[in-house]
Structure 1
Amino acid sequence: MFLPHKGDILEGVVHHVYRLGVFLRCGPVKYVFLSARKMPNYRYVVGEKPVFLHDDLARIEKDVVVRFEVLGVRWIERREDITKEFMMLASLQGDMLGPVTGPDGLDL
Structure 2
Amino acid sequence: MRAFLLTAIIVIIAFVIKVDLTEGSLQFTNFYTEKTKQLQCEQQQEPDYISIQTMQDDTIHSLFALHPAKEPMTFPERLQLFYKLNPHLQLQALTAGENIKLPLSFPQQNQCEN
TM more than 0.5: no
More helix per residue: 2
- TM-score, normalisation: structure 2: 0.26
More strand per residue: 1
